[in-house]
Structures are given as structure tokens and as C-alpha cells.
Structure 1
Amino acid sequence: MIVPRKYEQGSPVKIRLDRDVLAEAVAWTARSLPTRPSVPILAGLLVKAADGQVVMSSFDYETSAQITVKADVIEDGVALVSGRLLADIARSLPGKPVDVTADASRMELVCGSARFTLQTLPVEDYPALPAMPEATGTVASDDFAKAVAQVVVAAGRDELLPVFTGVRMEIEDDTLSLLATDRYRMALKEIPWNPSSAHTAGAALVPARVLGESAKSMTSGELVTLSLAGSGTGDGLIGFEGDGAAGVREITTRLLDGEFPKVRHLMSVQATLTVRANTAEVIAAVKRVGLVAERNTSLRMIIGDQAITLEAATGDQAQAVEALEAVVTDETGNGLAMTAAGFNPHYLSDALSALDAPYVHFAFTAPGKPCLLTALNELDGEPLTDYRHVIMLMRLPA
């Protein structure tokens, strides 16, 4: 595979490739471009043609992305152009082969009767992309994409608290664990994977946004390769490589600095009360009842005899109530330890959707304490513990 490096100057490029391949490759690479680059050159997308393939790259000093696609390369070379403008143009082209030529001053795209000319940027000013670290192991692409999607939903979005915007990846022999929290909810997913060497162990705090985009975009092939280098935080680097639409995709990103909170113990609550219900029915009810939930107020779950009732209100303006069948079990044998629980309706909806199972198992301990959600394939089956989602319950008014 061609690995972009820093070039002294641009050189002529002449290639032909399919319109859909060009549009997909440019759009994916440009997606990683910074919205407000610290220096103008970082708005550029690097195009390198050689040996019957084209590599398109972007970099913002934190995250790099590159895709390798097959093309008719008439003349080897390298050029740098505005990535977002190139993406807009490629998306608008008609469904015909695209001829791309570039020199030190401009790039020209010809597709049928459409012709575009762009000013090129100085290649010599573009920073060198980081090298992909040595492969640490591989994981099934579909399993990885699903696991990441289940976990990133619990990651924080406040950039002022960067440690909570990451997903902690833990490697222990043939098990890969993903863990995220925004302090009010936590998600843990464990999946099997294939380490490159025996007795592999390590951890990394990866930006959730980059991890989510990487996992979603590399599902065309069977495997995703993970490459981890560095100390695991701060100055470390992690890379992902896999097949996506149009070609082979690679992403590297710097790891987040800071110590991830120790929240694993919250994934093993000793339940005093459990509730089992149909997941789809609960999701639908939460969405309906949540429509009238006032901002920053809870959706109340009333736990009764083999039924739950969801309630929400916006003062005296609107109220909603819906009852659902459920299997309610007192785990203490001393009578129901609690009869109501307060959920953030958005957190509850996210957790239920992430379960991806026909039934849900709620494990309660006490009012205002963490509630553990796990999946059930059968209403009377054992909880599936490979994915665990914890929601901190909201305190209900007396």
C-alpha cells in the first residue's frame, strides 16, 4: 500500500476513475477535515497517484485518514487541493468516468461535458502523516461496528471534559472490551478478537467520535485491523484499517490524555428487584410518554405486580401515562424494595435501542442508585452479560 509522506513539491498527476469511486473516496476523506483548521494548509486533501492506484489523505495533527482506490494512472504524481470543495464537485458530477489532471498550480476535472478547475495548494507545506503503528490484532468488522455503536452512545460530548468524550479500549488476550461513560450512564461491551501475539494486554482512550466513524466506515471487508502504539494515553497513537466502499481505509488518531474513571464495578450490581419486559414495547412507550417530559425532569417508572407504568408531565400543561406487561421479581423475598424509579427519558431510550434484543432486563438496587440494563433473548432466559448498560437514576420528589 502507498504510504503518503512529506513531499518537497507537487508533481503532475493524470488519472481516470469511476465517478462513484471518486465521490465516495473524496467524501470519506474530506469528512475528517477540520471545520476551522489551525492553519489553512490543513483544509487540503492530498492526492497521490502511482502504480495503478490513488491514495487520498487528510490530516489535522490529531487524526489522519487515507483511502486507497484503484484507478487508471496515466501519470504518477501528487497534488493538494481544497478537500471540501473537491468533495462538493465530485458529488455533483454526472455518472461517467472522471479524468483528473493536476500540476503545480491547478487541478482539472472533466466528466462528460462538465469541467471544473481548482487552484492547488503547495504540497511542500503539508505536514507528514503519522505512520500506521504495528498491527496489534484483528476483529470481525460487523462485530466491531455493532460493539462500538452500543458503547459510544454513553460517551460524553462536553469538550471541556475530554476524558469523558473517549471510549476506553481494553485488550486482555482474546477479549476486547469497550467502555464509555458521561458520568450519568455507562456502557460496557466485550467481544472476541484475534491478537497478533499471545498474552496481549493493553488499554487506550480513543476519541469516541473518531472510533464511531472508523467502525461504521470499515464494514465492507471481513476484518478490521487495530494497531496500538505508545503509552496508552496522551502521546499514544491508535490506527484502524479495513475495507469500505470504494477502497481500503486507514485512520490514525492520537489517544486522549487523562485517567478514565473506575466505573467497571458499577456493571455488577446486586439487584434487589428485577423487571423484564418486551424491548420494542418499552422503547415505543418511552418515546410516547417522553414527549411530555419537561426538560431536566424524569420519566417515572412505577413498578407494580407484574406490570410497569411509565409517567411523565410538563407541570399542569400535559401529562402522559402508559402501562406495560412485565415480569417483576423481588430478589430479597421481603417485599418490593422500591416501587418507582426516575429515568432520564433520552438516556433510557438510547440504552434500550443499543441492547438490540427482543427483551430487556432491568436490575434495580435502590431509589436514586444505578440501574443495570442487560439483554434477553427469551423472557425467561438468562441475561446476556457481554453488553451492560448502567443508568444513574434520578431522584424522585417525595
Structure 2
Amino acid sequence: MEFRIERNALAEAVAWAARSLPARSPVPVLGGLMLDAGGGRLRIRGFDYEASAHIEVPADTPSAGHVLVMGRRLLDICRVLPDTVVECALHGTRFTVEGGGTRFGLSVLPVDEYPALPAPPPFRGTADAAEFADAVARVAIAAGRDDALPVLTGIQLRLDGDSMTLAASDRYRYAVRTVPWKPDAEAGTGADGCEPVEVVVPGRRLAEISRSLAKTGSIRIGLNTPGGPGGSGGGLIAFEGDGMRTTLRLLEGRLPRHGKLFALDSPAIAVTRREELAEAVRRVAVVAEPNSPVRLDFSARGSLLLQAGYGDDVAAQEIPATLDGAADLAVAFNPGYLLEALTSFDAPRVRFELLGPGLRALLGAAPDADAVPDADAGDAAREDHRHLLMSVRQLS
């Protein structure tokens, strides 16, 4: 086996495949990357039973063959190689990497002990890669971090006709974003009366994958849901774009339905400038103790007073805001949660639907007061991204 490739191309391919490698594994071969050269292509694969990665790049391959080497060691080598053409070859049980007068030797792992990668599930359709990555990033902030509740660490994908809805929740907040996608003619994902498909994907890994594929133009998404037509856990999801393909094992379970949670009964409606509110939260939260809330006092007189801290260590700032449905209303939020919710929006203004202290609060984009109204896109634009927060019951 022998191949030649530009150092940057090799480093990028190895780095992408190494994303699937486990941090620690009792099975040594799972820390390896399989390199397969032949036909003018270099294929690199990684697998840890929960996720797989496969990438294919052009290379000069005078001698075909394959080798299994420790992935992170190869990645470290690629990072320090000179920026030149790299020559790699297998000599018995030794794999060499050479470029610019620098030479490395690596021991190899037993190829016959490496598990076969799972077959990719059937593809259901395509999505814009950048738009998908952006949607994942905006909802991932609401995903849980507690591995004792695996389903809450995931991001739920719902495919229904030509729309894809992404959702995440850690029980204290719930983010939902809807983006368009193009289902295959025979996908059966809500189009022409077919049942929608709903699955939960590991959130951290989905965020990494979507970022790495963001510049590929478009991605194909495949699903295998053995639990039934509507989907459940236990299957696989695949993402493919620009010579890169990865699979993830789905999580068992589903998130609570957000439809009823987001339907608030006769809420008060407050609107304010998003960036101005975010800056105010950052300022007053400086004096707040860890896990202490920031209080928001909305007034029908057209103002919002933010307060934080206790005793002599306090901070306050007033900014313009409108309030409809109540004379005055005070709520409090975890400042970190509130800031993450605010930064997940692009709109100049943010809209709060408020019930009161200790109750749900729904955030959405509000039309810019200075913009020309668009009768065709107003409501749809406002509803493509929503973020639910639980307000703090006790106010200072």
C-alpha cells in the first residue's frame, strides 16, 4: 500500500474522521482509523458502534491497500507535518508518513479485528447544509447535559412534508426551529398523507457533524427507524455531503410535545429590542451570585427595568419596552438561560408571551417596527424559531 497526498488534504480528512473516535475505549481497534487507498482515492473510516465516519478524498495511489492505525496519533502527526506533499506507505507491520524531510513510523492494528461499518440507511431527502447547521446550533443550547437522562441530551428531528422541525429541551427550557427541506419522492415523510417521521439524535454529536458539513452546499439525510413508520429510538440516521458520510445511532424515547407547552392561555405580550436587552442582562448579571436570577419588571408605561443582586451588591438598568395585556408584570430568569435564548434569534426585536412568576414564558421574533410589513411572510417568519423558558417563582 502506498499513496501521496497534500498535507492539508490529509490533515482535514483525518481530523474529520477522527470525530467519531471514542475518547477512551477498552477495545483498542476502536481507537483506530481505517485507511483504504486505491483508484486515485483515499478513504478514511472511523467507528465506535455509536457513530461512524467515512470520508473520501483524491490521492495518488500507485499501490492499493488498506491499513488500520491509531487515529489520534495520526492526527497529531498530520498537525505537525510540513506543508508539502506527504508520502505514506505500509511496510510489513509498519506504516510510514513522510514529507518535507520529516519521517514518522507507526505500528498498525489488526485489520481483521476491526468491525464493519453499518450500512447507511435509506436517504429521505436533502437540506441546505448551512441552514441545517444554523438550526442545530440554535436549538442545541436547550439540550440537557445530564447523561442519566439520555433523551434530554438529544435533538429531536421531525420530518413532515417539506419541513424539518428541530427541538431540544432540558426540562427548564425548550427550543424549536423549523427549516425547509426537500424529501425524496418515495421518502414517506409526511408528504401526500404519509405519517411524519420523528427521531431523537445525540445532540453534541449532531452539533459537531452539522458544523463540519456546513460548507458542503447541501446534505442528504437518511433514516432507519425500526420502531415503526413514525419512528422511535434504536435506528440510525445518516448525513452525507461532499464525499463525507457519517451515521449516528438514535436515542430511545421522544421529547414532550411542545404544541401544548407553547400554547399559553391569555398571556401578556411584551416586546423590546433584542440586543439592547441582551446587553442589559450581561451588565446587571455581573453582581448576581451563581444561579441567582435577573428580574425583569415590564411596565405598560413603556419601560423594562432589569435588576440583579442582593443587599448592597445590586445592579439595575431600564430600557424601552411595550407591554399589552397587563398593567405591570414582573418575572425573573436564570441570566445564562435568558442570554442563550436571546442570542438564538436574529430579529432586531424579541417578543415575550408571559404568564407570571414561576410560569412558562415563550420567546419569539417580533417584526421590526422600522421595517416595511410583508403580508406574505410576517407570521411565518415569526414562528420559525421559538424558545420556551421557565421563569423563577421567587422574585427578589
TM-score, L = length of structure 1: 0.91
1:164 is the counterpart of 2:152: yes
Task: Report matched runs for 1:83-102 at 5 Å.
Answer: 83-102=71-90
Aligned to 2:368: 378
Deviation track 1:176-227 (CA, whole Å, cap 9, x = no partner) reads: 1111100000011111111112652211111111211111111222211000
> What is the identity percentage for the equivalent residue pairs of Structure 1 and Structure 2?
40
> In the aligned structure 2, how far is the partner of 1:392 from the partner of 1:281?
22
Between 1:141-150 and 1:190-199, the stretch displaced more is 190-199
Amino acid at match of 2:393: R
How far did residue 124 of structure 1 move?
0.7
Could you tell me whether the CA contact under 8 Å between 2:128 and 2:219 is conserved in 1? yes
Query: Given residue 19 of structure 1, which amino acid in structure 2 is its aligned partner?
Result: R
> Aligned pair 1:151/2:139, yes or no?
yes
2:15 and 2:199 mapped to 1: Cα distance?
28
Extract unaligned runs of 5+ from structure 1.
1-12
1:195 aligned residue (183, 204, 220): 183
Number of the residue aligned with 1:233 = 232
Distance 2:214 2:280 in 1: 33
Residue 316 (structure 1) aligned with residue 315 (structure 2)? no
Aligned to 1:224: 219
Which of residues 109, 114, 120 is equivalent to 1:126?
A: 114
Q: Give a deviation string over 1:84-105, Cα, whole Å, max 9, x none.
A: 1111110111111111112441
Cross-structure match for 2:209: 214
Match of 2:288 in 1: 293
Report the AA paired with residue 209 of structure 2.
Answer: S
In structure 2, the residue matched to 1:21 is 9
- Which of 43, 54, 59 lines up with 1:66 in the alignment? 54
Change (3 A) 1:271 1:213: farther
- The one-letter code of the counterpart of 1:235 is G
Partner SS state of residue 123, structure 2:
coil
Q: Distance in 2 between matches of 1:379 and 1:343?
A: 26
Contact 1:41 1:121 in 2 (8 A): yes
Q: Quote the residue 1:357 is aligned against.
A: 347
Corresponding letter in the other structure for 1:173: G
Partner of 2:192: none
Structure 1 CA distance for aligned equivalents of residues 44 and 52 of structure 2: 11
The change in CA–CA distance for 1:142 and 1:55 in structure 2 (over 3 A counts) is same
Name the structure 2 match of 1:179: 167
Aligned-pair CA distance for 1:267: 2.2
Inter-partner Cα distance in structure 2 for 1:170 and 1:327:
35
Q: CA deviation at 1:69?
A: 0.8
Change (3 A) 1:49 1:312: same
DSSP 3-state at the match of 2:344: helix
Whether the 8 Å CA contact 2:296–2:306 is kept in 1: the answer is: yes
CA contact (8 A) 2:352 2:363 kept: yes
Q: Would the aligned equivalents of 2:329 and 2:356 in 1 still touch at CA under 8 Å?
A: no
- Contact 1:185 1:389 (C-alpha < 8 Å) held by counterparts: yes
Does the Cα contact within 8 Å between 1:311 and 1:320 map onto a contact in 2? Answer: yes
8 Å CA contact 2:330, 2:356 repeated in 1? no
Equivalent-residue separation in structure 2 for 1:145 and 1:377 (angstroms):
24
Q: Describe the superposition over 1:108-150 as per-residue Cα deviations: whole angstroms up to 9, x where unpaired.
A: 1111111111111111111110011111100111111111111
TM-score (norm 2): 0.91
1:262-273 matched pairs, under 5 angstroms: 262-273=257-268
The question of 1:391 aligning with 2:370 is answered no
How far off its partner does 1:288 sit?
A: 1.7
Maintained 8 Å contact 2:332/2:395:
no
TM-superposed deviation, 1:271: 4.6
Provide the residue aligned with 1:8 in structure 2.
none
Q: What one-letter code is carried by the residue in structure 1 that aligns with 2:221?
A: L
Q: Secondary structure at the match of 1:85?
A: helix
Paired with 1:348 and 1:282, the residues of 2 have a C-alpha distance of 10
Residue 10 of structure 1 is matched in structure 2 by: none
Return the offset for 1:31. 2.3
Alignment match, 1:7: none
Contact 2:7 2:81 in 1 (8 A): yes
Mapped contact 1:341–1:396 kept (Cα < 8 A): no
Does the Cα contact within 8 Å between 1:274 and 1:361 map onto a contact in 2? yes
Name the Cα RMSD after superposition. Answer: 1.6
Structure 2 unpaired stretches of 5+: 190-195
Could you tell which deviates more after superposition, 263-272 or 173-182?
263-272
Work out the number of aligned pairs and report it: 376
Q: For residues 177 and 363 of structure 1, what CA distance do their matches in structure 2 show? A: 21
Distance in 1 (CA, whole Å) between partners of 2:9 and 2:367 is 40
Amino acid aligned to 2:235? G
User: What are the superposed Cα offsets for residues 45-79 of structure 1, whole Å, 9 maximum, x if unpaired?
Assistant: 11111211111111111100111111111111111
Name the CA distance, whole Å, in 1 between partners of 2:367 and 2:25.
47
Contact map agreement 1:133 1:237 (CA 8 A) in 2: yes
Letter in 1 for 2:307: E
